[in-house]
Chains A and B, each alone.
Chain A
Amino acid sequence: MPQRPRIDSTAACGLKAQRSWDAHHRLTAVATAFVIVAAACGGATLPAASSATPSLVGSVTVFAGSSLADAFKSAGEQLRLKNPGTDVVFNFGSSSTLATQIINGAPADVFASADEANMQKIVDAKLSDGAPTFFVGNRLQIVVAAGNPRQIAGLTDLAKPGLIVVLAGPSVPAGRYALEALRKAGVTLRPASQEVDVRAVLNKVALGEADAGIVYVTDVRSAAPRVGGVDIPEQHQVIARYPITVVSESKRPRLARAFVDYLISEEGRRLFAEFGFSRP
């Protein structure tokens, strides 16, 4: 396992968070316990976010994996309502693209990744202010045309000849998770395309250009009823855990933190549940 640089952090929440981030790589249980701590931390600072203090005026730029688009837009709307004078600007794309952009100096205040590998790039580049927090979880689903005209029942059916299947590219979290699920199911297939992010996979199926793809359950839900979803059984399922962090070069760390705190608050969790996300 590669050595990871330790992250300096003085904030109490940050220290706990860091411990949990490192611990996760050893023991999931510790990380799970941390979530409760993180929620408590978030809860403690939330009132500051909702009381519209003058310091929470301005615009915060959030870079987030494309699967988060709908939920984050809704969360941004909530933050705007609670804090008049604040604005949230989003840049959605594959987590790998976004991580590359941030490392090359893109002005992000918050980064939310659909996987740990791309978040680790930010941590390794010393661009994470404190340790990242896992804030939601997601599961994979096969996306098919509405009504499932090709009668796809599971992962094995994706290898049927004549079927056009698209996946996200192997550097994209959703693409890597999809390959993992296919490997677990013992299915090898040649996708017609490796799309740049998970929403591109969804859209190719929604447009009818592809017969099926592997995306997150939240993607299928957001595009229904234009598309249908076929469940992947538990033994082949891959659980995605999404970490989020404030970028250390942020010019508006307080506003950025307020956004993150809102997402990990109880209200934020309810919002994510509405979009089909699970707890991390």
Chain B
Amino acid sequence: MRAARPPLAIAVLATIGVAFFALPLAGLLYRVSWQSALSDLLTPEALDALRLSLIVSAAATVLGLLLGVPLAWVYARVAFPGRNFVRALTTLPMVLPPVVGGVALLVAFGRRGLVGEWLDAGFGLRIPFTTAATVMAATFVSMPFLVLTVEAGIRSVDRRYEEAARTLGASQWRIFRQVTLPLVAPSLFAGAVLCWARALGEFGATITFAGNLPGVTQTLPLAVYLAMETRPEVAMVLSLVLLLVSLAVLVALRDRYLRLD
């Protein structure tokens, strides 16, 4: 059977749709000054930002796995009153403007914040303007992607495997570790990669909550934003790096784990 030929109107609109996303990438490829691309990428500020971004996004992914997987399991397996509300609450950062997230983090964990004031007074712990704040901002916006992906994975697991393990005397914790987790490994991986990619791109919450200091809180997106004013050529190379990494992640995921068919 021949593949369906799209009606002309749909083909035209779909082409415009593709162009809308392809042109910005083409623009970057066109404007990047290739002669100096490598030296721009190897400037101390670019390297600092790159290094910090890798650390922060990795830390956010680890935190996301640590807290997000149990959360996903609870959402998938435990029917408790208000579950939908709590799920909505923890998914909020997906639709919230990140800068609002940053303000919220500041009023909670800032020096005068709900928890921050107590942390400062009790332990002398101050979160804003530290790399920890950068990790928190990244985790705040990226963990929901992991939770939703893993929850969907756990829901699709055939529960008979878990019940079989239970009849053999395995504890709930052992079932979770040795039966459920291995079965959801693909969603776990996909969720972690999505979470990592979102953390890598985080800007608004970071600049609001963590501030901007090279080497400490200035991640790649912040460096891009600030370099645009002083050294646009550096901003463009860094943008291209971020874009290509994200594209690679999505292509790889789509092929292996996010198949719709």
Q: Are B226 and A171 in contact (CB under 8 A)?
A: yes
Q: List 24 A-B contacts (CB under 8 A).
A: A94-B229, A96-B229, A96-B230, A99-B229, A100-B228, A100-B232, A164-B126, A166-B129, A166-B211, A169-B226, A171-B226, A171-B230, A192-B128, A192-B211, A194-B212, A195-B212, A196-B207, A204-B211, A207-B106, A208-B110, A209-B110, A209-B111, A209-B112, A209-B128
Verify if A253 is at the interface (C-beta below 8 Å from B).
Answer: no
Task: Specify which chain B residues have a CB less than 8 angstroms from the CB of A171 in the assembled complex.
Answer: 226, 229-230
Q: Are B129 and A192 in contact (CB under 8 A)?
A: yes
Task: Specify which chain A residues have a CB less than 8 angstroms from the CB of B226 in the assembled complex.
Answer: 169, 171, 196
A208 to B116, CA, bound (A): 11
Task: Specify which chain A residues have a CB less than 8 angstroms from the CB of B211 in the assembled complex.
Answer: 166, 192-195, 204
From the candidates B106, B213, B229, name the one contacting A191 in the complex (CB within 8 A). B213
Verify if A97 is at the interface (C-beta below 8 Å from B).
Answer: yes
User: Known contacts A164-B126, A164-B129, A194-B212; is A207 also within 8 Å of B229 by CB?
Assistant: no
From the candidates B112, B207, B210, B217, name the one contacting A207 in the complex (CB within 8 A). B112
Question: How many cross-chain pairs have Cβ atoms below 8 Å apart between A and B?
Answer: 53
> Which residues of chain B from 95 to 113 have any CB-CB distance to chain A below 8 Å in the complex?
106, 110-112
Task: Specify which chain A residues have a CB less than 8 angstroms from the CB of B126 in the assembled complex.
Answer: 164
Most chain A CB within a 10 A radius of its CB, from B110, B126, B229: B229
Task: Specify which chain B residues have a CB less than 8 angstroms from the CB of A207 in the assembled complex.
Answer: 106, 110, 112
A191 to B211, CA, bound (A): 11
Q: Are A196 and B212 in contact (CB under 8 A)?
A: yes
Closest CB pairs A-B (n = 7): A193-B211, A208-B112, A192-B129, A96-B229, A171-B230, A171-B229, A100-B229
Most chain A CB within a 10 A radius of its CB, from B128, B210, B217: B128
User: Known contacts A96-B229, A100-B228, A209-B106; is A194 also within 8 Å of B112 by CB?
Assistant: no
- Closest beta carbon of chain B to A182's beta carbon, Å: 16
Task: Specify which chain A residues have a CB less than 8 angstroms from the CB of B128 in the assembled complex.
Answer: 192, 209
Interface residues of A, CB < 8 Å — how many? 20
> Which residues of chain B from 104 to 143 have any CB-CB distance to chain A below 8 Å in the complex?
106, 110-112, 126, 128-129
A68 to B110, CA, bound (A): 28
Most chain B CB within a 10 A radius of its CB, from A96, A164, A193: A193
> Which residues of chain A from 171 to 225 have any CB-CB distance to chain B below 8 Å in the complex?
171, 191-196, 204, 207-210
Contact residues of A with B, CB < 8 Å? Answer: 94, 96-97, 99-100, 164, 166, 169, 171, 191-196, 204, 207-210
A207 to B126, CA, bound (A): 14
User: Known contacts A164-B126, A207-B112, A208-B112; is A193 also within 8 Å of B213 by CB?
Assistant: yes
Interface residues of B, CB < 8 Å — how many? 21
Contact residues of B with A, CB < 8 Å? Answer: 106, 110-112, 126, 128-129, 207, 210-214, 217-218, 225-226, 228-230, 232
A99 to B230, CA, bound (A): 11
| Besides A195-B211, A210-B129, 14 other A-B contacts (C-beta < 8 A) | A97-B229, A100-B229, A166-B211, A171-B226, A171-B229, A171-B230, A192-B211, A193-B212, A194-B218, A196-B207, A196-B226, A208-B110, A208-B112, A209-B128
Residue of A nearest to B208 (CB): A200
A97 to B230, CA, bound (A): 9
A94 to B95, CA, bound (A): 27
User: Known contacts A192-B213, A196-B207, A196-B212; is A208 also within 8 Å of B111 by CB?
Assistant: yes
Residue of A nearest to B225 (CB): A196
Residue of A nearest to B126 (CB): A164
Residue of A nearest to B214 (CB): A194
Most chain B CB within a 10 A radius of its CB, from A169, A194, A208, A209: A209
A210 to B213, CA, bound (A): 14
Most chain B CB within a 10 A radius of its CB, from A191, A195, A208: A208
A206 to B111, CA, bound (A): 12
- Closest beta carbon of chain A to B204's beta carbon, Å: 11
A57 to B111, CA, bound (A): 48
Q: Are A169 and B212 in contact (CB under 8 A)?
A: yes
Task: Specify which chain B residues have a CB less than 8 angstroms from the CB of A94 in the assembled complex.
Answer: 229
Task: Specify which chain A residues have a CB less than 8 angstroms from the CB of B232 in the assembled complex.
Answer: 100
Task: Specify which chain A residues have a CB less than 8 angstroms from the CB of B213 in the assembled complex.
Answer: 191-194
Task: Specify which chain B residues have a CB less than 8 angstroms from the CB of A208 in the assembled complex.
Answer: 110-112
A207 to B129, CA, bound (A): 14
Q: Are A193 and B112 in contact (CB under 8 A)?
A: no
A94 to B110, CA, bound (A): 24
Task: Specify which chain B residues have a CB less than 8 angstroms from the CB of A169 in the assembled complex.
Answer: 212, 226
Task: Specify which chain A residues have a CB less than 8 angstroms from the CB of B129 in the assembled complex.
Answer: 164, 166, 192-193, 209-210
Residue of A nearest to B228 (CB): A100
Task: Specify which chain B residues have a CB less than 8 angstroms from the CB of A196 in the assembled complex.
Answer: 207, 212, 225-226
